[in-house]
Structure 1
Amino acid sequence: MNFENPKRPDSVLNLLKENGFTNTQISKIVRVRPLFLLSDPEKTLLPKIEFFRSVGVSSSDLPVILSSNPSLFSRSLKKQLIPCYDFLKSVLLVEEKVVTTLKHSPRAFLYNVTNNMAPNIALLRQLGVPQSSISFLVSNYPCEAFSKHTRFVEAVHQVMEMGFDPLKTVFVLAIQVLLKISKPKLESKLELYKRWGWSKNMAVSAFKRHPNCMLASEEKITKAMDFIVNKMGWPSANIAVNPAVLFFSLEKRIMPRFSVIQILVAKDLVKNDLSLSSILKPNERSFLEKFVIKYRDDIPQLLIVYQGKKDLLEVGS
């Protein structure tokens, strides 16, 4: 882009560099918004930078936030940014949480307070949703929390019809899932689970236990189901009771742990009635202590199998 007079672009670049923006971050802004270089650095840009600093955004976070969403530079301080900040603080109560939300999603400061933000939060409060759940939704899923009000209302009604309790955090988790996934995509996911033996009631029950199970990719669901159901012989109904297991890594968690359990069951060291959650949910240390270290005298090679360095078929019976 050529400029007849480089004075304005140069002053813009100097302002950004003085405020900690790297060349890469500046290039990112200019690539997205070329006319940004014609902005008035003193009247348009600096006030935004000073505002974000004044509300607690650190010098290191500021360039990251503004370069990831340069639209923030073009929004009115009085009509958009300040009202947005004030509303978020009224919801989150703590300044640090507002900054965290901004870091998670710079777009949070671009939403319409009157048309979407305020009525969405008012609806949740009307239903008795606790402050902690509202803060959780806004801090972690601002795009969904402040989506178009009509769409938000629709998602809330769906969640209510499914029987979710507004007093529990899972209520807002379910709302954000329904706002992320289209109806055809949701139907497609339900159909996939049906092919693996889930009834509609089982799928709804799984959704109520772990709403994000409807966000897992079809590939991830298929691979996990294929291994646990077809290769390990566990009923798919067990996964419906513990849908969170679908999010564990197949290679790093599910397969190594089942390899260990298979050996222990074959040698009658543990019973064959373990639940999926008791195998897959414990953290690394707990699993090692309970199922590997505990039996190292009986099966010295167990740790090697767990680490994937030895096939379980190599372990003698």
Structure 2
Amino acid sequence: MDEHEEHTDRIEYDDPRAGLESALYELKRVIVGQDAMLERLLVALLAGGHVLLEGVPGLAKTLTIKTLSDVLGGSFRRVQFTPDLVPSDLVGTRIYRPDTGRFDTELGPVFGNFLLADEINRAPAKVQSALLEVMQERQVTIAGETYPLPKPFLVMATQNPIENEGTYPLPEAQVDRFLFKLLVDYPTVGEEAAVVGRAISPPAMVREKLSTEDLVRYQELSRRVYVDRDVIGYAVALGDATRHPGKYGLHELEGLIEFGASPRGPIGAVQAAQALALLRGRNHVVAEDVADLAADVLRHRLVLTYDALGDGVRADDLLDRVLDRVGGVKAAQTTERIAA
């Protein structure tokens, strides 16, 4: 058995659910206690979105995306964002070669399938703006020439919630470009014991379960998952309730939300629900798919008032009330009708 065979255990999967579950299981062999984050990363990849992770250092964020690239056979890049970073450090630049008398283009570290933007809020505005084109357009422009990024492409950006010194808060326009904002919490005692046990053992050999070509094919299948107009209406109602809570009987929220979710919220919720339905082995979306992802899609799109911030109100607290009011009977009826 050669070296490639030792590290690769990839099978051609006709059933997307089987292939994705195999990749998810392989990820869980290495990453302990972050099951929801791993599922959301696969959903983001299928939906073509990016992920913002908020959590204290040491919660395996770097290991997660490195392992993801190994399992999916893609290339991994990591950029540690610092205040002295400039856009060319990220996207690349033109370099003059004295021996040839020509300018050559040196592409930056964004040219990979999986980009870890570590502590993104430490980068100045120019760098954040350069990353915005990368995330939205999937391309980089250097000296008037455009260079497409490889497919698939996922940005997983991290920010530390407990340290604000020397940081540049992300503008709302850039935060809105992330499909998910995931809150990564400490593991349980049992999970942490497993983490420590693995840390003192030989590292697990990660096997490639899918290829990037498989993932691109699954992305196409995800976009074909059927979404009923009532499910779309449910996602739109969730977004609208964050902008006009009084219309839904949520008068207590009117003084807590300054700006509600943009239309990218419902769009992202439906696209992510299509990917989640595919991951769960269905060719149609049900309302529960939207509800399961609603907090991850919407929490970073809400701008709370000073009163809410002063009282320690979290976006998740408000979204819980929105989901209870907008969901309920309507979500159950929609799911029941589609399933029938």
Name the TM-score, length of structure 1 as normaliser. Answer: 0.26
Name the TM-score, length of structure 2 as normaliser. Answer: 0.24
Q: Which structure's relative contact order is higher, taking Cα pairs within 8 Å and 6+ residues apart?
A: 2
Rg larger for: 1
The structure with more helix, counted as a fraction of residues: 1
